[in-house]
């Protein structure tokens, strides 16, 4: 479900090396409040709250000197965090962290930026897929690294592999536009890329097909959570304030984001920001604050992934893939807001 390849061989190598590694901050770096966060992908609208936190000085107010380390097609997310080059990281979605933990990498979820994973199946209005019943007999284009998503959808809904035809695709929407597939998977926050399908397209979130998933998942090593939880909490608290400011000032926030990262398209991001906020805020964040997640959902996600064979060497325990400690320490700084009005 992630936006780039998650190499099992790389995880295995990290797992072997991580046994003797712990997050270490040099005295100078710690005194200066230096924090590096390693992102899984390029900076995008999923990090708008982080970007605003930097632009508005919230990190500085918390006594932190924060450096964003973007990812990309050939970047590695886990090794910098394990080695201590980065104090924390962000995965695109929860299954990546679960896979890392299953491979022996000592990392845990500390907060979730998106309450709803943005991965969806997009179809044309002329051949719509609006629910589970519409899947049968259809050709579904899925990126190879997200193939397990279809396995989950089928298992969750009591369908068999013969009910759909899965076709490997990339990230461009050409196969759907040409009619090579009836639906194609991807993140609905990539509105510019999806625009070629048409404004009347149907975006069916995998959540609405029975799959729970959190996205833009902040994580840290077990050692960092144990030895320096205050720094992690200050970071999450400052980011949460950034997201709160975005919630109150969405169009101004987009301008700040594009000013910091001019490769983003202002017009498209202005059209997308309310969607981003609806993925980030809901009834749970109104009650418990931005960044929250439900341990019961984590267990459900793990159980379904295990059912479709994602953990041949044994699934990780739910208690080993998350901690609520950082959310508890940052509770006072995390705004309690619901999704914005339609």
Q: Give mean pLDDT, residues 15-23.
A: 36
Per domain, the residue ranges of the chain are: 8-117+214-333, 119-209
**98-121 mean pLDDT:** 97
CA distance 48 to 273: 9
Is residue 22 very low, low, confident or very high in pLDDT (cuts 50, 70, 90)?
very low
Quick check: do 8-117+214-333 and 119-209 share a fold?
yes
- Residue 109: which of 333, 324, 269 has the closest Cα? 324
State the average pLDDT over residues 103-124.
97
**Is pLDDT larger for residue 173 or for residue 10?**
173
What's the average model confidence in pLDDT over 286-308? 97
Residue 273 near residue 246 (C-beta atoms within 8 A):
yes
Predicted local distance difference test score (pLDDT) of residue 32: 53
> What is the four-CA torsion angle of 309, 313, 315, 319, rounded to 10 degrees?
-170
pLDDT value of position 2: 40
Architecture of domain 119-209: 3-Layer(aba) Sandwich (3.40)
What is the reported pTM? 0.90
CATH number given to 8-117+214-333: 3.40.190.10
Per-residue pLDDT averaged across 251-272, rounded?
98
- pLDDT above 60: residue 8: no
| Percentage of the chain exceeding pLDDT 90 | 88
Mean pLDDT of 229-234: 98
**% of the chain exceeding 70 in pLDDT:** 90
């Amino acid at each position: 479900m992630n936006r780039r390849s998650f190499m099992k061989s790389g995880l295995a190598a990290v797992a072997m090396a991580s046994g003797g590694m712990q997050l270490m901050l040099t005295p100078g770096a710690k005194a200066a409040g230096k924090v590096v966060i390693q992102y899984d992908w390029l900076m995008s609208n999923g990090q708008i709250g982080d970007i605003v936190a930097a632009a508005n000085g919230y990190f500085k107010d918390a006594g932190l000197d924060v450096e964003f380390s973007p990812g990309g097609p050939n970047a590695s997310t886990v090794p910098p965090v394990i080695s201590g080059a980065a104090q924390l990281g962000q995965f695109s979605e929860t299954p990546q962290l679960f896979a890392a933990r299953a491979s022996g990498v000592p990392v845990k979820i500390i907060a979730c930026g998106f309450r709803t994973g943005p991965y969806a199946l997009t179809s044309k209005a002329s051949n719509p897929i609006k629910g589970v019943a519409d899947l049968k007999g259809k050709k579904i284009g899925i990126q190879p690294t997200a193939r397990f998503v279809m396995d989950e959808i089928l298992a969750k809904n009591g369908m068999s592999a013969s009910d759909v035809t899965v076709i490997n695709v990339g990230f461009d929407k050409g196969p759907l536009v040409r009619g090579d597939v009836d639906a194609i998977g991807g993140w609905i926050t990539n509105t510019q890329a999806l625009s070629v399908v048409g404004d009347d397209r149907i975006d069916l979130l995998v959540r609405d097909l029975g799959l729970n998933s959190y996205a833009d998942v902040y994580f840290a090593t077990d050692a960092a959570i144990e030895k320096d939880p205050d720094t992690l909490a200050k970071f999450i608290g400052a980011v949460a304030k950034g997201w709160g400011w975005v919630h109150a000032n969405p169009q101004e926030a987009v301008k700040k984001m594009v000013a910091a990262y001019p490769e983003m398209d202002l017009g498209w991001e202005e059209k997308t920001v309310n969607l981003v906020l609806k993925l980030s805020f809901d009834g749970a964040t109104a009650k418990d604050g931005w960044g929250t997640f439900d341990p019961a959902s984590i267990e459900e996600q793990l159980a379904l992934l295990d059912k479709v064979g994602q953990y041949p060497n044994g699934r990780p325990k739910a208690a080993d893939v998350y901690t609520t400690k950082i959310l508890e320490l940052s509770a006072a700084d995390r705004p309690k807001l619901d999704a914005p009005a339609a």
